[in-house]
Structure 1
Amino acid sequence: MREGMGRNYGIQKIAVKHVASMVEELLCLSMERLNRSARRKQNWQKPVKEWCKVNTDASFISSSASGAGGAVIRDEEGRLIAAASKRYKHLEDALMAEALAARDGLMLAGVTGCEKVIFEIDNLPLFNLLHSEAGERNVIAGLWQEIRELGKNFSDFIISFV
């Protein structure tokens, strides 16, 4: 009798594992659907008349502590004003790469003569940091301050998260 119970217990254990696996798969599929719907594709929008739009983005490779950043500046018609890219070494993290790209993009906007700037970034931690006073206590404090100062050089300056 004991042997039969052991066999049933083994079958039950296999069945429980199978059901748990199915539930986990179902939850993952539901989460994927939620993530897809939450991240709808957003098309680039032209800035309003007399404004420039500066878009920056960066990459980070932790194994080599390096990365790259780029910036694109467009006018109210969507025409390219300027674009640039740069490699970065000795990076702390992705936030630092994003901040370097942001700084370089705003410097490029300054030298190209942009006066009214919509600055679009896709890094939420950097966006939040630039809208707070917490940047002075962050590892990117110098870049945080530099980005904020560069923004003051424009007659109008808006930071937007996309």
Structure 2
Amino acid sequence: MDNSRPLEKWTKLPVGWCKLNVNGAFAEADGTGAAGMILRNHHGVVIFASCRFLPRCSSALEAEIAACMEGVSLTLEWSYDPFIRETDSTTAVAMITDATVNRSPVASLVEETKRLLGLGREHGIAHVRRDGNQVSH
């Protein structure tokens, strides 16, 4: 019996919306990380794609939240459209959508992401399975 799930694919957005996919990576061996992000319009056309090396990183969660923060910041610069941010980290989604002040080791990144999202741009946030977020890897 085959228990595999079908791959998750990019879903089309409402006209006028953009989709921001973000992902973080962490190398425990040397304490470094990376952040990747891509913004596409409702047709799937790339508006920007970016990646960044994180020379000091303490966890996979820190890399993921750093990718979220930078992706939102770049989205606000590159587009005036409302956007949906997708990540494969349920923890990142929960931290950024939580209305209370974050007190975790990644609090400064979480709170800056919340500040950026609070600047008035219509947005959404969603969890997507890892196979549906390959483009930001």
- Fold-level similarity (TM above 0.5): yes
User: Out of 117, 136, 153, which is 2:102 matched to?
Assistant: 136
Structure number with higher relative contact order (C-alpha < 8 Å, ≥ 6 residues apart): 2
Other-structure match for 1:24: none
Unpaired segments ≥5 residues, structure 2:
129-137
The secondary structure found in structure 2 opposite 1:104 is: helix
CA–CA distance in structure 2, aligned partners of residues 124 and 135 of structure 1: 18
The secondary structure found in structure 1 opposite 2:113 is: helix
Structure with higher Rg: it is: 1
Q: How many residues align?
A: 128
Identity of aligned residues (%): 24
Contact 1:52/1:114, CA 8 A, preserved across alignment: no
User: Out of 49, 54, 74, which is 1:83 matched to?
Assistant: 49
Other-structure match for 1:150: 116
Q: What pairs with 1:1-162 in structure 2 (closer than 5 Å)?
A: 36-37=4-5, 40-133=6-99, 136-162=102-128
The secondary structure found in structure 1 opposite 2:16 is: coil
The secondary structure found in structure 1 opposite 2:94 is: helix
CA–CA distance in structure 2, aligned partners of residues 45 and 156 of structure 1: 19
CA–CA distance in structure 1, aligned partners of residues 30 and 101 of structure 2: 25
1:79, CA displacement in angstroms?
A: 0.5
Q: Given residue 59 of structure 1, which amino acid in structure 2 is its aligned partner?
A: A
Q: Given residue 55 of structure 2, which amino acid in structure 1 is its aligned partner?
A: K
Contact 2:33/2:55, CA 8 A, preserved across alignment: yes
The secondary structure found in structure 1 opposite 2:102 is: helix
Contact 1:116/1:154, CA 8 A, preserved across alignment: no
> 1:5-41 deviations in whole A, cap 9, x for unaligned?
xxxxxxxxxxxxxxxxxxxxxxxxx9xx76x44xx42
Whose helix proportion is higher, 1 or 2? Answer: 1
**TM-score scaled by structure 1?**
0.73
Contact 2:61/2:92, CA 8 A, preserved across alignment: yes
